[in-house]
Amino acid sequence: MKIAQIGTGGWGKNHTRVLSQLGVLCAVCDSDQARCKEYGEQYSVNYYQSLDEMIKNEEFDAAIVVTPTSTHTKIATKLIEAKKHVFVEKPLTYDSAEGEKLKELADKNKIILTCGYIERFNPVVDTVKSYVKDQKYGQLVMLEFHRENRMPPHLKDVGIIYDTSVHDIDTANWLFDEMPNVVFARAGTINHQYEDFASIMLGYNDNKTAIISSNWITPKRVRTFSAVCTDAVIVSDFISQEIKVERKEETEIPRNEQKEPLLLEIQNFIGAIEGKNEPLVKPQEALNVTKIAEAALLSSQKGVPIYLDLK
Ligand SMILES: NC(=O)c1ccc[n+]([C@@H]2O[C@H](COP(=O)([O-])OP(=O)(O)OC[C@H]3O[C@@H](n4cnc5c(N)ncnc54)[C@H](O)[C@@H]3O)[C@@H](O)[C@H]2O)c1
């Protein structure tokens, strides 16, 4: 198994570490010459400044794309056309029409295409998912997410909805096990070029809702969610991986083993390539998250709810 990585920036360095630890990293590519050289030398693998050169000269089975969102479509298209299995960091694409084409291209070439919705591999999400499935605390009615952290103003090519809220959009769809039929959002800009705070309401069947609150303004790093079920509220922390189940009389703290979500995510991708498991994040699901993000942005601009009919 040989996996190449494109993009060795702020987040990419974590992929490089895990791919190397798993013994599958064969090459890195970054348009920044100093960066690709640094990582190539550090991990003793071939390094390239150009993707075309890497595809021409390197033999590999699959690739992980960890470049800015605006570059995902072009890079993933080249890789799929070269018959490589592809893991694209979130969001799959900026534009949903491009995501649709990417999915079709992957289907046509019988290529595994998956996307980095990493919270599905967070043990707290996994635990809450199993509680919801078994109805351990009754029926899931509402979800509320908070993702807050001050961000440097210059860093991103997209606003907070496409960069940050998408994690919670995907987690909400995953926990409800369905797609929302309506999106209403408000978003604004305080310190950045694009929107840097957003409140998004997703409506699911039977009036079930997810409320997603994200900001790049406040200084404390917060990543939490509450799952309101008919018999308890389950409060989870994505960072500490702690869960509290709040019922009338007592608060239960189920033990949860700490695990690195990125390691589990990459192992899932490798397992899918080897035919041992399905990729957990399907291209249609990742495409739907982009469509919901698009609708949230549009809703915040127009001030109206956007109704959706997603597959
Ligand atoms: N799953 C997560 O928790 C998580 C966290 C952070 C970022 N991300 C995602 O990872 C991706 C990268 O984010 P980042 O914060 O690492 O960005 P970054 O800007 O820090 O790094 C991107 C790297 O890609 C390189 N690059 C840009 N265009 C390229 C091209 N055409 N070919 C080769 N290299 C190219 C840049 O030189 C840079 O080194 C984004 O899609 C982002 O949404 C995911």
Per residue in 241-289, pLDDT (tens digit) is 999 999 988 888 987 789 999 999 999 999 999 999 999 999 999 999 9
- Compute the distance from residue 8 Cα to the ligand 1 centre, in Å: 7
- Asked if residues 109 and 83 have their Cβ atoms less than 8 Å apart, the reply is yes
Same domain, 70 and 141: no
Residue 40, pLDDT score: 98
Residue among 18, 30, 70, 194 whose CB has most ligand 1 atoms within 8 A, to mutate: 30
Same domain, 26 and 127: no
Point out the ligand 1 atom lying closest to the alpha carbon of residue 75: 31
Average pLDDT, stretch 229-248? 96
Same domain, 184 and 239: yes
- Compute the distance from residue 17 Cα to the ligand 1 centre, in Å: 15
Q: How far is C-alpha 126 from the chain's CA centre? A: 15
The total number of structural domains in the chain stands at 2
| Owner of token pair 């798993």 | 22
- Compute the distance from residue 68 Cα to the ligand 1 centre, in Å: 4
Same domain, 47 and 131: no
Residues of the domain holding 31:
3-116
| Residues near 270 by beta carbon (within 8 Å), at least 6 away in sequence | 1, 3, 22, 24
Q: Which of 63-67, 128-132, 249-253, 258-262 has the lowest mean pLDDT?
A: 249-253
In a domain, 267, yes or no: no
Same domain, 127 and 75: no
What's the CATH code of the domain at 236? Answer: 3.30.360.10
> Considering the chain, what percentage of its residues have pLDDT values greater than 90?
95
Same domain, 110 and 135: no
Same domain, 16 and 43: yes
Structure tokens at 230: 């008919």
* Overall size of the chain counted in residues: 311
In a domain, 269, yes or no: no
Residue among 89, 119, 122 whose CB has most ligand 1 atoms within 8 A, to mutate: 89
Same domain, 108 and 68: yes
In a domain, 107, yes or no: yes
- Compute the distance from residue 39 Cα to the ligand 1 centre, in Å: 14
pLDDT digits (tens, 9 = 90+) for 187-206: 999 999 999 999 999 999 99
Q: Which residues line ligand 1 (CB under 6 A)?
A: 6-12, 29-32, 35, 51, 66-69, 71, 75, 89-90, 116, 118, 163
In a domain, 292, yes or no: yes
The average confidence (pLDDT) of the chain is: 97
DSSP SS3 for 123: helix
CA 235 – CA 223 distance, rounded (Å): 11
